[in-house]
A and B are shown apart, each in its own frame.
Chain A
Amino acid sequence: MKRPELIPAILTILVVAFFWKISPDFRDVNYLLANTTIFAETGLLAIGLTLIIISGNIDLSVGSSLVLTSCLVAKFTNDGTPIFVSVLMALIIGTLLGTINGLLITVGKLPSFLVTLATMALYRGAAQAMMGPASAKVPQPLKGIDRSDFHGLPYPFIIFVICALIVGLILHRMILGRWLFGIGTNKEAAHYTGFPVNRATISAFAITGFLIGISALLMDSRLGVARHDLAKGIELDAITIVVAGGTAIAGGKGTMIGTVLSWLLIYFVKTGMGVNNLKAEYQLTIIGIILVLSVFSQQIADRFSTNRQRKTTKIEAR
């Protein structure tokens, strides 16, 4: 199938239509927009992970990097710190943490799964060692971005969309994107074709780190405090979004629009179930079913279209 992201798109429409019909609390555009603020943070991680997974790698440390960055920013700034200093700090720390992952994988020649499994523990451990059980207050000028909006669109949502657009362009319109697809399809071949495998891989992790920096700022701003135990399990949520959006976990295949649509799908499902007070255990089950459906139907569609292609070539060969 040429457009695997059609599946999350169709599912999203069905889900919205369903909850719109049954739930008056869901039927509130302002609420649906305002509620994106929590999910924008996960979405930013998913944007970065799309690059990484397409390149045949994985990053399990995104949640820990997010927490470490948000703790560092909250702890080493105060009410007097100019806001651009905090922002710069978050972006630099995030990018740095991502680059460390990239360097360990490429220069250290280690599998990304192992490296990021280790840094997942390391980054969160560092945050815990630094903070202990205490929490750091976020400086006043940094707080409350999730409550402000631009013509009804909350800023975290706008930031998410802009990031998806820019990184989408990098992935689909720029040379780095072509390299990443190449590396994900066949690393050896990419290397012999003359693709700068190491540089491209480090770039993917660094871009993800940069997005983590933005995400950390949003989280600090939203919660007003930073603690070592925040955002637990967010890496799995983000990976889930990427994979459900049609990106192949083995690499070489995927689209940014797929990730964005899948983010929308999971957002609407979670919001719809939440506002109807569906029990947590059913919520997990339903999210699981939707993921299986999404991935499975893409597989079927895929097989279906490759079959047809094969048939055509056969006819042509005759």
Chain B
Amino acid sequence: MIRISSILALGALLLVGCNSGASNETSTSTTPSSTESGAKLKVVFIPKNTGNPYFKPLGAGIEEASKELGFDYQEQGPATGDATSQLPIIKDQIQRKVDVIILAANSPDALNEVLDDAKAKGIVVVTVDSDLEKNESHRDVGVMATDTSKIGPAQIELLGREMNYEGEFAILSATTDSPNQNAWIAHMMTTLKDPKYSKMKLVETVYGNDEPQKSSTEMEALMTKHPNLKGVLSPTSVGLAAAAQVLENSGMYPGGKKAANGGIHLTGLSTPNQLKKFVANGVITAFQLWSPKDMGSLAAYLGTAAKSKKIELKSGTEVDGPKGTKVKLNDKGVVFAGDLVTFDKANIDKFDF
């Protein structure tokens, strides 16, 4: 008897515990929706994993769009970035009858089947930042970072402006077989043929394998081997941060203690947070990256517009974009979200990712 009553007591205790705990959670995570009236669309953003700072501005872009366009917005990410960790979440969203899923896909193909289910239920599936490569038919549109062919020229122009379009410079890349890096470097080479950059001379391209230690060593070697070096371009976060540290220690940055004939100008591609201190102390003047926020707002716009049948997302066509612009879907149904953003002393504190 005692045993049964104690179990019941424990059960009652748990029920009370569950009730108060879980109702708190749901009230913070669900926003009131008015789908019954049919007025507001439900949009959910599924990042690669929670707590990843890169996806914060992306979510912020969607959230901003939600206020402008008047849809319900929720973000629901998996705890880990495994290939199938997003799968149960997508199933849940289908059951929740959302209208648009914005997905930064963890796998190019493991989600095919469940995304087909979503599309069959009339949900518009938009990929952002990471696409379903070679499986593009399982989503409606992909909103990706700046077009590869725009990154090379923008980077060369930024470095050129800093070093007054003349002198020796080097590239510190990631790995020799990174497809992105190599595509960007190829576009940089073509850009350098422009007479505007004829006095800039690329002396060497080195690879830091995206490891801080190796990148530092390569940077030091560059500075020793090329005493007349005036610029270094590192289109990778790890390489750029490592090079900045080396440059700071050596004091050879423009305005540094040991800067000979103007110092070495360093720039490249990186997320802003890890370079804030180097911008603040003048080691780096400016650097660039695509804008996750732009990706978010464009994805939200295209997704909701397609759901309410204002536009039709077909590969190789041009559709109406936000604020009277036109956006073009390429033959794989990819839209590129705007130009690179340049971060410098004036604006870097506005970014947090």
Query: Are the C-beta atoms of A230 and B77 separated by less than 8 Å?
Result: no
Report Cα–Cα, A11/B18, bound state, in Å.
10
Interface size on A, residues (CB 8 A): 47
- The answer to whether B74 has its CB under 8 Å from any CB of chain A is yes
Query: Are the C-beta atoms of A283 and B7 separated by less than 8 Å?
Result: no
Q: Which of A157-165, A201-209, A220-228 contacts B (4 or more CB under 8 A)?
A: A220-228
- Residue A276 contacts which of B18, B29, B82 (CB distance < 8 angstroms)? B29
- The answer to whether A275 has its CB under 8 Å from any CB of chain B is yes
Q: Which of A14-22, A189-197, A247-255 contacts B (4 or more CB under 8 A)?
A: A14-22
Instruction: Write out the residue numbers on chain B whose beta carbons fall within 8 Å of the beta carbon of A25.
Output: 95-97
- The answer to whether A278 has its CB under 8 Å from any CB of chain B is yes
Q: Which of B104-112, B182-190, B298-306, B311-319 contacts A (4 or more CB under 8 A)?
A: B104-112
- The answer to whether A170 has its CB under 8 Å from any CB of chain B is no
Given A223-B84, A277-B76, is A22 in contact with B23 using a C-beta cutoff of 8 Å?
yes
Q: Which of A84-92, A174-182, A297-305 contacts B (4 or more CB under 8 A)?
A: A297-305
Beta-carbon contacts under 8 Å, A207-224 to B: 222-224
Query: Are the C-beta atoms of B110 and A223 separated by less than 8 Å?
Result: yes
Query: Are the C-beta atoms of B77 and A280 separated by less than 8 Å?
Result: yes
Query: Are the C-beta atoms of A229 and B7 separated by less than 8 Å?
Result: no
Query: Are the C-beta atoms of A233 and B80 separated by less than 8 Å?
Result: yes
Query: Are the C-beta atoms of B14 and A225 separated by less than 8 Å?
Result: no
With most chain A CB atoms within 10 A of its CB, the pick from B49, B92, B96 is B92
Which residue of chain B has the shortest Cβ distance to A38 in the bound complex?
Answer: B88
In the assembled complex, how far is the CB of residue B336 from the closest CB belonging to chain A, in whole angstroms?
24
Query: Are the C-beta atoms of B80 and A232 separated by less than 8 Å?
Result: yes
Which of B's residues lie within 8 Å of A, judged by CB?
A: 3, 6-7, 10-11, 14-15, 18-19, 21-23, 25-26, 29-30, 44, 49-51, 74, 76-80, 82-84, 87-89, 91-92, 95-97, 107-110, 112-113
Which of A's residues lie within 8 Å of B, judged by CB?
A: 1, 6-7, 10-11, 14-15, 18, 22, 25, 28, 31, 35, 38, 135, 143-144, 222-225, 227, 229-233, 270-271, 273-284, 286, 293, 297, 301, 304-305
Query: Mind listing 7 A-B residue pairs with CB under 8 Å?
Result: A276-B26, A276-B30, A277-B30, A278-B25, A280-B78, A283-B79, A286-B22
